[in-house]
Amino acid sequence: MRRSDREIKDVDRILNIVDKCKVARLGIVDGGRPYVVALNFGYRRIDNDITLYFHSACEGRKIQVMRENPYVCFEMDCAHGLIEGKKPCAFSFAYESVVGSGKIEFIENREEKNEALNLITSHITGADKSYTFPSQALDNTCVYRLVVQEYTAKINK
């Protein structure tokens, strides 16, 4: 990381950033070409390990590409704002961001799907509610996790 003065290493502080972000961008490789898609997400932390959870339709370009190559990267950012300077080159932009990479795993088990969808719902709404999703909805929804293998965070206030 070029600006090590902005790097966040403490996992609790990193997860505070993740808590504020509502959209993660997945970077995938489609036939040697990059492809980025924005998704709502939920997550789970076990010790310093983070797993991100996503859902979408069961078919389409993104799903096909991830089934062919499950290794992806991600980016999320929040807390945006202009930092004005006294001259044009002194302007900056405030942000908090997390980037990383890992491997996608598709979830087929209905109970695991239901649990993952609840993590997503809780993260997006901020409410700690638990839902039981109908079987048909679970069957018609693709749910997958990103087992994060590496991640870094950065902040500019």
Look up the pTM and report it.
0.93
**pLDDT (0 to 100) of residue 43:** 98
Supply 139's token pair: 């069957």
pLDDT per residue as tens digits for the range 27-63: 999 999 999 999 999 999 999 999 999 999 999 999 9
Minimal CA–CA distance to 74: which of 43, 47, 38, 46? 38
**Yes or no: domain 4-156 corresponds to CATH 2.30.110.10:** yes
Q: What is the distance between the alpha carbons of residues 26 and 40, in angstroms, rounded to a whole number?
A: 10
Minimal CA–CA distance to 39: which of 13, 12, 16, 66? 66
What is the overall mean pLDDT for the chain? Answer: 95
pLDDT per residue as tens digits for the range 94-129: 999 999 999 999 999 999 999 999 999 999 999 989
